[in-house]
Structure 1
Amino acid sequence: MLRKKKITFVINYFYPDLAATSQLMTELTGYLQKDFTITVIAAQPGYAGENHQSKKLFEEGYVETIKVVRIKLPEVNKNSKVSRLKYISSYFFLANIALLKEKGTDVIFTISQPPVLGGLIGTIGKLLKRSKHVYSIHDFNPEQAQAVAYTNNQSVFKIAKIIDKLNCSYADQVLVVGEDMAETLRGRFEDETVPNYTVISNWTDEDAIVPIEKSEPAIRGFLETHGLKDKFIVMYSGNLGLYYDLENLIQVADKFREQPDIVFLFIGEGAVKERIQRYAAEKNLENVKFLPYQPKEFLKYSLNSADVHLVVNQKGIKGVSVPSKIYGVMAAGKPVLGVLEQGSEVQRLIFESGAGVVIEPQNYEGVIHAIHYLHSLDPGELKSMGLKGRAYLEENLTRATSINKYRQVLQAVADNSPLEHTFQPKQYKEVVHKK
Structure 2
Amino acid sequence: MTPSKTGDAPSILFINQHYWPDLASTAQHLTDLAEYLAGDGFDTHVLCSRGHYLSGSMEVPAEETHNGVQIHRVRATAFGRDSILGRITDYASFYTSTLARVLTGRSYDTIVTLTTPPLLPLVGTVARALRGQAYGIWSMDLHPDAEVAAGMLAEDGRPARLLHALNDAGYRNADFVVDLGAHMKRRLRRKGVPDDRLHTIPVWSKKEEVSPIAHEENPLRDELGLENKFVVMYSGNAGRAHRFEEALAVMRRLDGHPHIEFVFVGEGPQKERIETFADDHDLSNFRYLPYFPREQIKHSLPMADVHLMTLREEMAGIAVPGKLYGIMAAGRPVVMVGPAASESGETIRGHDVGHVVDPSRDADPAQRLYDTLLRLYSEDDERRRLGERGREVFLETFERAVCCRSWTDLLRAQVGGEGPTDKDEMAAERN
Which stretches in structure 1 are left out of the alignment for 5+ residues? 426-435
Q: Which residue of 2 aligns with 1:375?
A: 377
Q: Following superposition of structure 1 onto structure 2, how do residues 220-299 of structure 1 map, counting pairs within 5 Å?
A: 221-246=219-244, 249-299=247-297
Q: Following superposition of structure 1 onto structure 2, how do residues 135-214 of structure 1 map, counting pairs within 5 Å?
A: 135-152=137-154, 154-189=157-192, 193-194=194-195, 196-214=197-215
Q: Which residue of 1 aligns with 2:115?
A: 112
Distance in 2 separating the partners of 1:100 and 1:249: 48
Bigger drift between 65-74 and 204-213 goes to 65-74
Provide the secondary structure at the position in 1 that maps to 2:63. strand
Distance 1:86 1:196, change over 3 A: same
Instruction: Note if contact 1:315-1:341 (Cα within 8 Å) is conserved in structure 2.
Output: yes
> CA-to-partner distance for each residue in 1:34-90, whole Å, 9 max, x for gaps?
422122111214114676247xxx811221332211133323342421111111111
- Does residue 92 of structure 2 align to residue 89 of structure 1? yes
- 1:194 Cα deviation after fit: 4.8
- 1:246 Cα deviation after fit: 3.4
Which stretches in structure 2 are left out of the alignment for 5+ residues? 1-5, 427-431
Correspondent of 1:19 among 18, 24, 27: 24
- 1:261 Cα deviation after fit: 1.6
* Aligned-pair identity (%): 28
In the alignment, residue 256 of structure 1 is paired with which amino acid? L
Q: Which residue of 2 aligns with 1:429?
A: none
Correspondent of 1:44 among 29, 42, 50: 50
**What is the count of residue pairs matched by the alignment?**
412
Bigger drift between 198-207 and 243-252 goes to 243-252
Distance 1:5 1:347, change over 3 A: same
Provide the secondary structure at the position in 2 that maps to 1:112. coil
Distance in 1 separating the partners of 2:359 and 2:63: 44
Distance 1:150 1:406, change over 3 A: same
Distance in 2 separating the partners of 1:64 and 1:208: 17
> CA-to-partner distance for each residue in 1:331-364, whole Å, 9 max, x for gaps?
1110000112122111111112211110114733
Distance in 2 separating the partners of 1:245 and 1:76: 26
- 1:248 Cα deviation after fit: 6.1
- 1:266 Cα deviation after fit: 0.7
Distance in 2 separating the partners of 1:385 and 1:395: 15
Provide the secondary structure at the position in 2 that maps to 1:33. helix
Provide the secondary structure at the position in 1 that maps to 2:295. helix
Instruction: Note if contact 1:331-1:390 (Cα within 8 Å) is conserved in structure 2.
Output: yes
Distance in 2 separating the partners of 1:73 and 1:242: 25
Instruction: Note if contact 2:256-2:284 (Cα within 8 Å) is conserved in structure 1.
Output: no
- 1:186 Cα deviation after fit: 1.9
- 1:134 Cα deviation after fit: 0.8
Correspondent of 1:124 among 123, 126, 144: 126
> CA-to-partner distance for each residue in 1:221-252, whole Å, 9 max, x for gaps?
32233232211111011112221123663343
Q: Which residue of 2 aligns with 1:30?
A: 35
Distance in 1 separating the partners of 2:139 and 2:359: 23
Correspondent of 1:101 among 82, 97, 104: 104
- 1:101 Cα deviation after fit: 3.2
Correspondent of 2:315 among 309, 314, 317: 317
What is the TM-score with the length of structure 2 in the denominator? Answer: 0.89
CA-based RMSD: 2.5
Instruction: Note if contact 1:137-1:177 (Cα within 8 Å) is conserved in structure 2.
Output: yes
Distance in 1 separating the partners of 2:222 and 2:9: 51
- 1:303 Cα deviation after fit: 0.6
Correspondent of 1:358 among 348, 356, 379: 356
Instruction: Note if contact 1:108-1:126 (Cα within 8 Å) is conserved in structure 2.
Output: no
In the alignment, residue 256 of structure 2 is paired with which amino acid? E
Q: Following superposition of structure 1 onto structure 2, how do residues 60-79 of structure 1 map, counting pairs within 5 Å?
A: 60-79=63-82
Bigger drift between 353-362 and 233-242 goes to 353-362
